[in-house]
Structure 1
Amino acid sequence: SMDIYDVIVVGAGIEGSSTAYQLAKQGKKTLLLEQFPLPHSRGSSHGQTRITRKAYGELEYYTVMMKEAFPLWETLERESGRKIFRETGMLTMGAPGDTFTMGTIRCLQRHVIPHQVMDYQGAKQAYPMIEFPRDYTFVVDKSGGILRADKALISYQEIFRRFGGELRDGEKVLDIIPGDTVGVRTSSHHYRAHSVVLTVGAWATKLLPKLQLTLPLKVLRINVLYWRERVPGGYGADRFPVFLQENAVDKYAVYGLPSEEYPGLVKICLHWGPEVDPDSRDKADDSWVIDKMKRYIGRHFPDLEAEPAIAETCMYTWSEDEDLILDHHPSWRNIIIGAGFSGHGFKLAPVVGKVLAEMAMNKAPSYDMTPFKIQRFRHNAKL
């Protein structure tokens, strides 16, 4: 008889790796499948850094999840012996009445998260290397900072294996066969499991329709841009925080991180990009992204060279309302879906892994899952 796994997790990005880690820690016989040879840079979880923060504007439910994500990242640091989080504070800024900035301040106050609100003078004093309009409000969420993404990913995979999990990379899933036990057919094997978790990132747009599920998801190609400091060290993590500005360029957000990954280079990116097919993502024209970002840098970061030194690529899988999709398949309860992380999933990964694992074990999730249910799209999705 063929070996039946308790759970098969498809996709070894940060969400799948976190989910598999949680399952293996709870003694479940777990298989984690990844289509590309690891490590790779073809999805959404590669690279060295991501932003983390507790404040989440008006979206309270993420702030509540982030309160648990921080200690869970600390647990992973202890288990792996790697430093994953670096506190730098997270800065946000906006014009008078900017809903994101004001919502952030209210959220920080309500949840009693250490923070500082500044006017132009205060911000100039704290961060002389930035230039924004004089009527702006600035706020620093002191809990914010940098997650070392590559270290986080490898740590989850390593601890997963330490707890007896099986990880197979370079093995693409071709078919999911629903049933009381779920069949998973890959490029080289056929597996069975009591439940399956699909955390396939951009490939959700290709795999889910095979299960009669078409969700309002868009795959965006993000230009990860690095800008050279005119004065070396001017934007180091000791003096420059991570930042996020909503409505920074047209209606799009811009985010940035200090010069940590590449000496002398600051990572500042547009939180949007051209829509692409994940299997041929380099066909898209993104010259408009570079043009807009060059103008933005020239205006707000006079101490950076206004031409990017390095451009890398990442993919966002954008859900229509920017909320995550964490749910059972509408027809098959033992197929669980984690998708549509919309460019803000990395920091939440420890909690996402926890709830997806709970769902795979058919336990009640630790959080109110209402905002993440597939049903919310019933008017414009094929369910």
Structure 2
Amino acid sequence: MQTYDCIVVGAGIEGSSTAYNLVKNGQDTLLLEQFPLPHSRGSSHGQSRITRMAYGGDDYYTEMMIEAYKLWEELENESGTTLYKKTGLLAVGKTGSDLIDGTMQSLRKYSIPYTELDGRTLRLKYPMLDYPEDFVGVEDHSGGVLFADKSLAAFQSEFVKHGGILHDNEPMIDVYPGDIVTVKTNKGSYRGRNLVLTVGPWATKVLPSLGVHLPLKTLRISVLYWKEKTPGIYGAETFPIFLEDYAIGEYDIYGLPSLEYPGLYKMCLHSGPEIDPDRRDDADSTWVIDNVKQFVAKHFPCLEQHPAIIETCIYTNTPDHDFVLDRHRDWKNIVIGAGFSGHGFKLSPVVGKVLSELVMQKTPSYQLSHFRIDRFNK
């Protein structure tokens, strides 16, 4: 039986990026996915994701994003596919809010171009928004839209081009750790010197069997599309990515210009009901949709007040919303990537690089104390 240098389980954006980085570094790699590709049952599907440089108060993410932009550009060039559209990002909040102050501090520290908007300027520049005078804005000019489905396909196709083996529609049934790890699926068994588990929402089911108990919560996110009253008013050529923290209670609101569906603006609450990933349709998201309706009526007067299309995806959240990027405590040849908390897609080129470095016993490119498993035990 063939022994791979590494087996990666889970071909979402993080697993596909990891497998791509491994094979480019000469590692004989097998990538396993439980569902037929492409699919919409996890966290990496859909056409668009937000990207931005600034992470207020979290310098380690801003530093990673600076490299992520370069790596996305390299993948664009390598695959011959456009993966990013620059639109800018508009953060809105009350004067002195965590989002506004943190974003500006991050942009200043890393010399990222931005524009500060006082309340009057915000209303003049964006008449399609309705905010009181004590709300201000900051524009991160690096912000934009990642084309999610194309990005995922690019990682997977380049992985295969470089000699990687990709099996979809092949769920993992069991893992047998050891110096050589054996992965059993519904179609056979595979041996690997190393194993990477990037299983998304199914981490809550897979990891406990290996003695890893993370405080993860899987949430079903309602992806809502709202019809423009005036076509193009929230289009990508005129309106940026949008972000407001604590827009509804403790939850953020984010929006993307009308790109995916003609005349439909994408706006979502950064939360949702907790679910079992195998029974995600059992949850009731009425409270999410009702709250976003109220937000639209209050602040986006040029959108219809009822969503035209409702789709879903899944977040896997950690309590601190930081990722898990670490080796297993007992089996150092098992590497875990989990808990991407709804903001991991944009960082996936760097995540894949870091996880591949852990597999290859290289010094990680970033300080990983924020991402250790044992932080939850302290």
**Which residue of structure 1 lines up, in the alignment, with residue 246 of structure 2?**
247
Q: Distance in 1 between matches of 2:202 and 2:46?
A: 19
Measured after TM superposition, the shift of residue 148 of structure 1 is: 0.2
Paired residue type of 2:91: T
Q: Name the residue aligned to 2:263.
A: 264
Which digits, 9 at most, give the CA deviation of each residue in 1:211-270, with x for residues without a partner?
011100000000000000001111110011001111000110000000000000000000
> Share of identical aligned residues, percent?
57
Q: Distance in 1 between matches of 2:5 and 2:129?
A: 52
Matched, 1:338 2:337: yes
Q: How does 1:96-107 map to 2 (within 5 A)?
A: 96-107=95-106
Give CA-to-partner distance per residue, 1:359-381, whole Å, 9 cap, x none.
011111110001000010015xx
How far apart are the structure 2 equivalents of 1:126 and 1:87? Answer: 18
Report the equivalent of 1:10: 9
Task: Give the letter for the 1:353 counterpart.
Answer: G
Q: Which residue identity lines up with residue 270 of structure 2 in the other structure?
A: H
For 1:180-329, list aligned pairs within 5 A. 180-329=179-328
User: Could you report, residue by residue, the CA deviation over 1:71-125 in whole angstroms, capped at 9, with x for unpaired residues?
Assistant: 1000010011111011101111111221121111111011100000001221122
**Aligned residue pairs, count:** 378
Deviates more, 1:296-305 or 1:131-140: 131-140
Q: Which residue of 2 aligns with 1:163?
A: 162
| Residues 1:42 and 2:35 are matched in the alignment | no
Aligned to 1:125: 124
Separation in structure 2 between the aligned mates of residue 77 and residue 128 of structure 1, nearest angstrom: 35
Deviations 1:44-91 (A, max 9, x none): 000000000000010000000000000100001001111101110111
Q: Secondary structure of 1:113's match?
A: coil
Partner Cα distance (2:154, 2:208) in 1: 32
3-state secondary structure, aligned to 1:171? coil
CA distance in 1, matches of 2:136, 2:110: 20
Distance 2:177 2:277 in 1: 25
Q: CA–CA distance in 2 between the matches of 1:204 and 1:131?
A: 41
**SS of the residue 1:183 aligns to:** strand
The separation in 1 between residues aligned to 2:187 and 2:293, in whole angstroms, is 46
Partner of residue 80, structure 2 = 81
Question: 1:338-359, CA deviations, whole angstroms, 9 ceiling, x for partnerless residues?
Answer: 0000000000000000000000
**Whole-Å Cα distance in 1 between the matches of residues 273 and 32 of structure 2?**
28
TM-score computed with the length of structure 2 as normaliser: 0.99
Kindly provide the CA deviation profile for residues 113-172 of structure 1, in whole angstroms up to 9, marking residues without a partner as x: 000000122112222211112111200100010000000000000000000000000000
DSSP-derived class of the 1:343 partner? coil
Task: Answer yes or no: is 1:62 the counterpart of 2:61.
Answer: yes
Question: What is the RMSD computed on CA atoms of the aligned residues?
Answer: 0.7
Alignment partners' CA distance in 2, 1:57 and 1:255: 16
Matched-pair contact (CA < 8 Å) for 1:127–1:239: no
User: In the aligned structure 2, how far is the partner of 1:242 from the partner of 1:18?
Assistant: 24
Q: CA deviation at 1:208?
A: 0.1
Structure-2 residue corresponding to 1:377:
376
SS at match of 1:351: helix
- Tell me the residue number matched to 1:149: 148
Query: Aligned AA for 1:328?
Result: R
Deviations 1:286-335 (A, max 9, x none): 10001000000000000000100000000000001100000001111000
* Counterpart amino acid of residue 213 in structure 2: T
Within 2, Cα distance between the matches of 1:371 and 1:137? 31
* Letter of the structure 2 residue corresponding to residue 286 of structure 1: S
Give the secondary-structure state (helix, strand or coil) at the position aligned to 2:121.
Answer: helix
Aligned mates of 2:124, 2:145 — CA distance in 1? 23
More moved, 202-211 vs 88-97: 88-97
| AA matched with 2:5 | D
Native 8 Å contact 1:231 1:303 kept in 2: yes
| Alpha-carbon distance between aligned partners in 1 of 2:87 and 2:333, rounded to the nearest angstrom | 41
What SS does the corresponding residue of 2:205 show, helix, strand or coil? helix
Q: Is the 8 A contact 1:21 1:160 kept in 2?
A: yes
- 1:279 partner amino acid: D
Query: Structure 1 CA distance, aligned partners of 2:217 and 2:11?
Result: 20
Equivalent residue number for residue 52 of structure 1: 51
Matched AA of 2:304:
E
| Equivalent residue letter for 2:29 | T
Which residue is 1:25 aligned to?
24
Unaligned runs of 5+ in 2: none
Name the residue aligned to 2:71: 72
Aligned partner letter, 1:122: T
- CA drift at 1:198: 0.3
